[in-house]
Amino acid sequence: MIITNISTSSFSSCFSGQKKLKYLIAKKILILFFITTTPLFSNKAQSQNISVSFQVFYDELSPYGQWMRHPGYGYVWIPVSSVNFFPYSTDGHWSYTNYGWTWVSDFSWGWAPFHYGGWDYDPYYGWFWVPDVAWGPAWVVWRYSKGYYGWTPLMPGHNHKNVSDNSYYGRRDHWTFTEEKYFGRREMNNHYAPRTSNKKIINNSTIINKWIRTVMQLIS
């Protein structure tokens, strides 16, 4: 897989090439920069109404990572983080809000990549984020196994409507499971199950449709 650097001046042309992807906004006329007003969730899990756009993402996230051109997704963002970084797992926790279970990130940039767009993984570059302007409390898929709750990032190109059955797994090593009694606590990351146990846990788990329906109702 080849990912190349791209200059700021090429920003709009990269996004306009994404009209064929279902998860990005498609228009008959290519829009270079359009703004959609959506609620933005802060690190303290307090909602506010602001306008977001791809340009906002570019400007706000540039200090914390690198924008690059991906052959399949176009313009993507790669955070500057540790080699052990996992989205919706590293430095954050779940909090129950008016929107349902919401990921509260400890990263200063967490307001964007954990509530907009989607994450995918490249063996060379690691985790990267694909922008979108649809807001959600978290873009993940949930599963439950006796004694454990688990979740994994919802890959770009998928949505909660087409993962509402029991067939969506993604990569097994991209799931995070925590003991049920620690779920929702700030220190739950100290109680994650070893990823080497994921295969066994997933094989004995079922998808949680209730949370999926909640997200579908929120974004519809």
Give the other-Cβ count within 10 Å of 167's Cβ.
Answer: 8
Residue 125 to residues 14, 45, 140, 155, 215, Cα–Cα distance (Å): 19, 29, 21, 16, 30
Interatomic CA distance for residues 97 and 113, integer angstroms: 18
User: Domain ranges in the chain?
Assistant: 4-219
Give the other-Cβ count within 10 Å of 166's Cβ.
Answer: 11
Q: What angle do CA 135, 139, 143 make, to 5 degrees?
A: 145
125-167: pLDDT as tens digits: 899 999 999 899 999 989 999 989 999 999 887 655 555 444 5
Interatomic CA distance for residues 34 and 55, integer angstroms: 9
Q: What is the pLDDT of residue 5?
A: 57
Q: pLDDT grade, residue 91 (50/70/90)?
A: very high
Half-sphere exposure of 170 (CA within 13 A, CB side): 25
97 against 82, higher pLDDT: 97
pLDDT at residue 30 greater than cutoff 90: no
Q: pLDDT grade, residue 169 (50/70/90)?
A: low
Q: What is the pLDDT of residue 158?
A: 64
Average pLDDT of the residues of the chain: 75
50-77: pLDDT as tens digits: 578 999 999 999 999 999 999 999 999 9
Mean pLDDT of 9-36: 35
Q: What is the pLDDT of residue 110?
A: 97
207 against 204, higher pLDDT: 204
pLDDT at residue 27 greater than cutoff 80: no
